[in-house]
Structure 1
Amino acid sequence: MGSNSTSSAESNCNGTYLTFQYSLYATTYIFIFIPGLLANSVALWVLCRFISKKNKAIIFMINLSVADLAHVLSLPLRIYYYINRHWPFQRALCLLCFYLKYLNMYASIFFLTCISLQRCLFLLKPFRARNWKRRYDVAISAAVWIIVGTACLPLPILRSAGLANNSESCFADLGLQDITMASSIGMVTAAELGGFVLPVVIITYCTWKTRKSLQEFQDPPQNIKERKKALRMVLMCAVVFIVCFTPYHLNFPFFMMVKQRVFSNCSFIRNTLCFHIISLCLANLNCCLDPVVYYFMTSEFRDQFSEHGNLVIQSCLHCKDSTLEIRQRKENLQTISLECLDVPTQCDEMVI
């Protein structure tokens, strides 16, 4: 649920209004925007156009890229707000950008989990992989979007109270509606168990089983290579998950308790809010780290990216060579023209 604004309980502690959040958020989003936009745009282009649809986890990768791209496209508005500390746009646009942030976070968590689980399952049960239909992945992806999209809807609703009081505030400066302790506990439990603990258990199990299968089975070199690729894929998903999403979910229960005025210690409140800001910045890094999963863990993606990347580079070099050639011809024509002006008789003989 991410806000870093102060509640009435927090305001009782001097210095809990963390002004560094504006510069930190703006710097983080500026750092993420260009690489995230380019990497996910290229990844989506390659995945949709050049990768065989029979490739393992391709549907999940496409959906993961779409989730990242949707959030990245909203970053310029966030950058504008944190630099100017003023929101001149519609209230609905603020809530939409707020919603996309958490939609991206939990969609990424679930699709990374799906990628890990599928690679592990297909590795351990290859016969099931042969009979697996692409429509199954499409159905699973649709279910993920419906579940995550519905589960994230309360987040902008709970934060819309701040917009009613101050239409120029958005994002970190939005207030949090008062909710009962029971509702708060239910929300934290659902977010932690469904959005963190369950995916952690699945990814950890997949990593362990994949590594174990590599050590136990004496397969031909081709099968060993496939198992190593699967292990790298699962490990990469685990790394992205740990780096981007673990800090936020470890701090989230304490953040909600601060919002519910459970704690009165000013130092603890300040540290919790500071860590919440940092954890949200780390959560945004998944937009840049997810394309690494596609590139380094999928040989077909890497081959297609290298091939078409080389074509683009060659085209640019060819255009550059053509431009230099045209420029050289112009200079030669100018030289001949000057010579014609100086010695017209010789020029007539050259023309003849």
Structure 2
Amino acid sequence: MCNFTLSGNGTERKNLAYASVYGSVMAVGFPLNAVALLVLLRRHNLKSPSVIFMVNLAVSDLLLVITLPLRVYFYATGTWPLSNAACTSVTMLFRDNIRSSSFFITLISVDRLLAVVYPLRSRSLRTFSNAWKAAGAVWLCVLVMNIPEIISFTSFLNSYPQSSCFEFDCPPESVLRYAQPVLIFTMLAVNIVCTALVSLTLSRHLNDSARVNNKVNAMLIFVMNLIMFTVFFLPVSLGILIQTWRPYLTPLICLACVNCCLDPLLYYFSFDGFWRKKDDVNSSLGRE
């Protein structure tokens, strides 16, 4: 059990601010993602790859949200009341959200790229089966990345039992330090390429309304995906990678969790047919 006490007036003010942010994210993120998941499951039959990726993205965000009460408690009271195993689980779920979200957001971008740029040739690739295989591969990759981190984190907590649950960082020489930044940089590059190709395609077919029903929404989803990476995922990844950014890592982590409140905007405003019933969506998907 960690009983690390946060002290000092400046530190107390900062941690009350962190508790407020996490509490606000929890209050906003849970209902938004729960409603999004409910609508996706009840009004869509998971035939579209985009819907499948969005369902998994909503699940990832909900897994993050359920850990936030413990972070609120820690930063509000300055103590960690649970076991080291609970601390490890909370930390891994938090890190997994950034990783799984980056994967699923990228898969959404790639799926939209195929639908817009290669609508006919991609039909055999954009299938129910392939989408679920990709989602399964994402979760498997995330779990594999967890294994060495769990071992290292557990060793850290056992060696420094009075340390803060959220104080752990990989040693500078550890390869674990580079795993998340490399992932985020790679996924960001893929999103940039997808955005550029779709933008170029839409500009060439500006008057072809049959090719893309809603060009504004088609580009909006790519813009929002880039914002997710540059505002929420990239700063915390740089904070992990660059040692001089270490003093700013806690607020960057706090900022990163806000992504789960904005992910539902991808469903509400960017997914054509989000509020429509299954039959209406299936009809529109058949025209893609």
TM-score tier, shorter chain, comes to 0.7 to 0.9
CA contact (8 A) 1:32 1:285 kept: yes
Does 2:147 correspond to 1:153?
A: yes
Name the CA distance, whole Å, in 2 between partners of 1:228 and 1:107: 27
Which has the higher mean CA deviation after the structures are superposed, 286-295 or 230-239? 230-239
CA contact (8 A) 2:49 2:128 kept: no
In the other structure, the counterpart of 2:111 is: 118
CA contact (8 A) 1:74 1:97 kept: yes
Identity of aligned residues (%): 29
In the other structure, the counterpart of 1:108 is: 101
Name the CA distance, whole Å, in 2 between partners of 1:245 and 1:284: 9
In the other structure, the counterpart of 2:184 is: 196
Letter in 2 for 1:254: I
In the other structure, the counterpart of 2:195 is: 207
Q: 1:25 to 1:156 in 2, by over 3 A?
A: farther
Letter in 1 for 2:179: A
CA contact (8 A) 1:21 1:277 kept: no
In the other structure, the counterpart of 1:249 is: 237
CA contact (8 A) 1:229 1:297 kept: yes
Name the CA distance, whole Å, in 1 between partners of 2:160 and 2:77: 15
SS in 2 for 1:105: helix
Aligned ranges for residues 54-65 of structure 1 at < 5 Å? 54-65=47-58
Shift of 1:298: 1.3
Shift of 1:20: 5.2
Does 2:274 correspond to 1:281?
A: no
Q: 2:37 aligns with which of 40, 44, 59?
A: 44
CA contact (8 A) 1:120 1:206 kept: yes
Q: 2:120 aligns with which of 127, 131, 139?
A: 127
CA contact (8 A) 2:48 2:128 kept: no
In the other structure, the counterpart of 1:291 is: 264
SS in 2 for 1:101: helix
Q: 1:180 to 1:169 in 2, by over 3 A?
A: closer
SS in 2 for 1:126: coil
Name the CA distance, whole Å, in 1 between partners of 2:228 and 2:17: 21
SS in 2 for 1:54: coil
Does 2:95 correspond to 1:95?
A: no
Task: Decide which structure has greater helix share.
Answer: 1
Name the CA distance, whole Å, in 1 between partners of 2:242 and 2:30: 33
Shift of 1:214: 1.0
Aligned ranges for residues 214-229 of structure 1 at < 5 Å? 214-229=202-217
Shift of 1:168: 6.2
Name the CA distance, whole Å, in 2 between partners of 1:69 and 1:180: 31
Q: Give unpaired runs (5+ residues) of structure 1.
A: 6-14, 256-268, 305-352
CA contact (8 A) 1:87 1:167 kept: no
Q: 2:71 aligns with which of 78, 82, 90?
A: 78
Q: 1:31 aligns with which of 24, 37, 40?
A: 24
In the other structure, the counterpart of 2:286 is: none
Q: 2:226 aligns with which of 231, 234, 238?
A: 238
TM score, norm. by length of structure 2 = 0.84
In the other structure, the counterpart of 2:134 is: 140
CA contact (8 A) 1:86 1:168 kept: no
Shift of 1:82: 1.3
Work out the number of aligned pairs and report it: 269
Letter in 2 for 1:293: L
CA contact (8 A) 1:110 1:199 kept: yes
TM score, norm. by length of structure 1 = 0.70
Name the CA distance, whole Å, in 2 between partners of 1:56 and 1:161: 40
Which has the higher mean CA deviation after the structures are superposed, 87-96 or 219-228? 219-228
Shift of 1:293: 0.6
Name the CA distance, whole Å, in 2 between partners of 1:106 and 1:100: 10
Q: 1:152 to 1:20 in 2, by over 3 A?
A: farther
Name the CA distance, whole Å, in 2 between partners of 1:192 and 1:237: 17
In the other structure, the counterpart of 2:281 is: none
Shift of 1:161: 3.7
Shift of 1:120: 0.7
CA contact (8 A) 1:88 1:168 kept: no
Q: Give unpaired runs (5+ residues) of structure 2.
A: 278-288
Aligned ranges for residues 288-327 of structure 1 at < 5 Å? 288-303=261-276
Shift of 1:167: 4.9
Name the CA distance, whole Å, in 1 between partners of 2:202 and 2:208: 12
